[in-house]
């Protein structure tokens, strides 16, 4: 049986009359890269901050590593590495000193050589003595990752880790997360507004909106349950359309766009349609299935 690392049950956070989180529940299992999705103002940051004990919940329960966050805060936090929004550090200290400061509070003994090892791992070797004032956002993000990993935590929580990064920085962070999961067997809770990122690296996810859980589960299962938009390029579109009508698939036809036929069909029907076209003498140049998390996300959010 899979071990639950995070259990969030009916989390509620109100600020006076403002309801930041209404009812959020989800479970993260050991080894997951868990996507935490929601539009702006959905309550993602409030939930993550509550998990990290930066915010006191109005009600609800958070259990991590089998223990209650309220009663075993330090036991839990010792096993977590995190970046909450921007990776902010002491500008008047060097990268190395910043790491040492946070490592000292991590609850484990971190040696100087470990600090240098982690600096090298995130690609900041040679800049460790430089003060943070001169660091770019990307470099601070790398240092943030270093800070997250320095005490070898079991769970890594990254809140919008790619915000403000250039494309290469985003790819680097994505690869790093996959490396953490595959090579270092870490559990990662990843909040991001870049949906394609979650689709690429998460195996489970939760979507929240207006402070409530909308759906949670395996990314592939949730997406496979959806119809695909299939774009088919053939040499005779009219004949293809007629074949689909004959096969009682006229409702699947969405539109003809740029000489391509757009269909709403399930994944299982793609080979059938392909075979039907080929058997009837059509030349099929390409079949492109689009199943974007973005579409699924928008469909859920917009009801």
Instruction: Please give the residue ranges that form the binding site for other proteins (CB under 8 A).
Output: 15, 49, 52-56, 73-78, 80, 82, 84-86, 88-93, 97, 101-102, 104-107, 147
**Tokens at 236, concatenated:** 């005779």
Least separation in angstroms between CB 204 and other proteins? 23
Least separation in angstroms between CB 147 and other proteins? 7
Least separation in angstroms between CB 28 and other proteins? 17
Residue 84 or 223 with smaller CB distance to other proteins: 84
Residue 107 or 254 with smaller CB distance to other proteins: 107
**Tokens at 56, concatenated:** 């006191």
Residue 76 or 230 with smaller CB distance to other proteins: 76
Least separation in angstroms between CB 159 and other proteins? 9
Residue 57 or 199 with smaller CB distance to other proteins: 57
Least separation in angstroms between CB 113 and other proteins? 19
Strands 67-68 and 18-29: unpaired
**Cβ-based neighbour number of residue 34 at 10 Å:** 26
Question: Tokens 């790398």 sit at which residue?
Answer: 142
Residue 85 or 152 with smaller CB distance to other proteins: 85
Least separation in angstroms between CB 114 and other proteins? 16
Residue 153 or 169 with smaller CB distance to other proteins: 153
Least separation in angstroms between CB 101 and other proteins? 5
Least separation in angstroms between CB 62 and other proteins? 14
Q: CA-CA distance, 25 to 125, in Å (whole number)?
A: 41
Q: Say what angle helices 237-246 and 269-279 make with each other, to 10 degrees.
A: 120
Residue 128 or 199 with smaller CB distance to other proteins: 128
Residue 90 or 285 with smaller CB distance to other proteins: 90
């Amino acid at each position: 049986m899979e071990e639950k690392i995070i259990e969030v049950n009916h989390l509620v956070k109100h600020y006076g009359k403002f309801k930041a989180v209404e009812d959020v529940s989800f479970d993260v299992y050991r080894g997951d890269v868990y996507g935490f999705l929601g539009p702006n103002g959905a309550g993602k940051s409030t939930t993550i901050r509550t998990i990290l004990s930066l915010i006191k919940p109005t009600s609800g329960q958070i259990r991590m590593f089998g223990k209650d966050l309220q009663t075993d805060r330090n036991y839990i936090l010792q096993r977590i590495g995190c970046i909450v929004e921007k990776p902010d550090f002491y500008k008047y200290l060097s990268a190395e000193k910043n790491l040492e400061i946070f490592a000292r509070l991590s609850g484990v003994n971190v040696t100087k050589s470990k600090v240098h090892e982690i600096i090298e791992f995130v690609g900041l070797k040679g800049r460790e003595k430089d003060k943070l004032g001169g660091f770019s956002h990307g470099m601070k993000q790398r240092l943030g990752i270093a800070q997250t990993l320095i005490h070898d935590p079991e769970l890594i929580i990254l809140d919008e880790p790619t915000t403000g990064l250039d494309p290469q920085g985003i790819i680097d962070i994505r690869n790093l997360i996959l490396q953490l999961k595959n090579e270092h067997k870490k559990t990662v809770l990843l909040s991001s507004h870049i949906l394609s990122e979650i689709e690429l690296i998460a195996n489970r996810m939760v979507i929240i909106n207006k402070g409530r859980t909308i759906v949670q589960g395996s990314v592939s299962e949730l997406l496979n349950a959806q119809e695909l938009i299939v774009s088919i390029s053939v040499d005779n579109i009219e004949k293809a359309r007629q074949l689909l009508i004959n096969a009682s698939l006229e409702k699947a036809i969405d539109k003809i766009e740029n000489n391509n036929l757009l269909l709403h069909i399930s994944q299982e029907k793609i080979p059938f349609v392909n075979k039907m076209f080929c058997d009837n003498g059509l030349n099929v140049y390409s079949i492109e299935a689009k199943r974007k998390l973005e579409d699924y996300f928008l469909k859920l959010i917009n009801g």
